[in-house]
Structure 1
Amino acid sequence: MAVTVPVRMLVDRAASGELLLLSEGLSFWGGLDPASGEIIDRQHPQHGAKVTGKVLVLPSPRGSTAAPGALLECLCEHSGPAAIVLATCDPTAIAAVLAAQMIEHPAIPVAQLLDPADLQVLTGIAYANVGQGLLTEIQPGWSSLS
């Protein structure tokens, strides 16, 4: 049976993709290569993983006020995630996505888990769709545009 978790849509869009659940927060500024979408923070447990086109799940925000600029650059380079799901609200992710939209780049969904304990439910999910207030486990190849 597919897992479904309620979320609060902070940027109300829909997207689907491979789910990348980070075990620690990620600083977009200095922790993510905007050109490749690769996690370059050598101290991060998922160092070397790529966020490009993925449903990126972050347990906590990390970083500085420069984070929106770094995420914006990543989105403009088309190396950013398909969606961002936060366990706790992070205005830097929202700011970057809205700024990208203002300069005519597609906005991606940004959502917040209603219950941060749902991070445990997401372990083991390979692909997910985010939209309409839900994060839903899907099969590979399924599209939110279908």
Structure 2
Amino acid sequence: MTKELIGRGLVPGVVEGEALVSHETISGWGGIDPARGVIIERRHELFDVSFSGKILVFPGAKGSSGWSGFFQSTRLMGTAPLAMVFTAMTTKAVLGAVVTRVPTVSEFGDVDPVDEIATGDIVRVDGDRGVVAIVRRAADQAAVPR
């Protein structure tokens, strides 16, 4: 059974893929390696984990306005996430999604996608309609792909 989360579409497009969930905000400025598509914040729960080709689900962005430049570099280098789903809509996060040009949904009201989606779930992000559907649950919710 598919569960749908209704939010606000920020960047259009529809994709389906594997979710990578972070319970912590992500620093784009110095917190990611755009050449590898990897989180490099030493104390981050997803340190050294690749978001490339995954649907990145996270609370939002932290750090400076350089966040968008680093995420734009992932698009240019071919290491960008497949889509972005985030809880808190901030100018940093929205600008990063726009320059990365991946389908993005945010503003889910009382529902937090970080709590609803698990790493490894297969999700469909519809940035046109603002819908994130959990298509299939991960077999092992504890596994974090590298």
Identify the TM-score tier after normalising by the shorter chain: 0.7 to 0.9
The CA deviation at 1:138 is 2.2
Q: 1:133 aligns with which of 130, 133, 145?
A: 130
Task: Provide, for residues 43-101 of structure 1, a one-character-per-residue CA deviation record: whole Å limited to 9, x for no partner.
Answer: 1011111110111011132110111111111111110101111101022233244345x
Partner of 1:103: none
In the superposition, relative to structure 1, how do residues 27 and 116 fare at CA in structure 2: closer, same or farther (>3 Å)? farther
The CA deviation at 1:116 is 5.4
Task: Provide, for residues 16-40 of structure 1, a one-character-per-residue CA deviation record: whole Å limited to 9, x for no partner.
Answer: 2110110100011111100000111
Residue 18 of structure 1 aligns to which amino acid in structure 2?
E
TM-score using structure 1 length: 0.82
In the superposition, relative to structure 1, how do residues 124 and 99 fare at CA in structure 2: closer, same or farther (>3 Å)? closer
Structure 1 runs of 4+ aligned residues shifted over 4 Å read none
Mapped partners of 1:68, 1:116: distance in 2: 27
Partner of 1:95: 95
Q: Is the 8 A contact 2:71 2:99 kept in 1?
A: no
Residue 109 of structure 2 aligns to which amino acid in structure 1?
D
Mapped partners of 1:45, 1:117: distance in 2: 22
Q: Is the 8 A contact 1:125 1:137 kept in 2?
A: no
Partner of 2:143: none
In the superposition, relative to structure 1, how do residues 124 and 39 fare at CA in structure 2: closer, same or farther (>3 Å)? closer
Q: Is the 8 A contact 1:71 1:93 kept in 2?
A: no
Partner of 1:4: 4
How many residues of Structure 1 are paired with residues of Structure 2 in the alignment? 134
Secondary structure of the corresponding residue to residue 125 of structure 2: strand
Mapped partners of 1:5, 1:98: distance in 2: 21
Percent identity among equivalent residues? 27
Partner of 1:117: 111
Q: Establish whether residue 31 from structure 1 lines up as the match of residue 26 from structure 2.
A: no
The answer for unaligned runs of 5 or more in structure 1 is: 101-106, 141-146
Q: CA RMSD in A?
A: 1.9
Q: Is the 8 A contact 1:9 1:110 kept in 2?
A: yes
Residue 115 of structure 2 aligns to which amino acid in structure 1?
Q
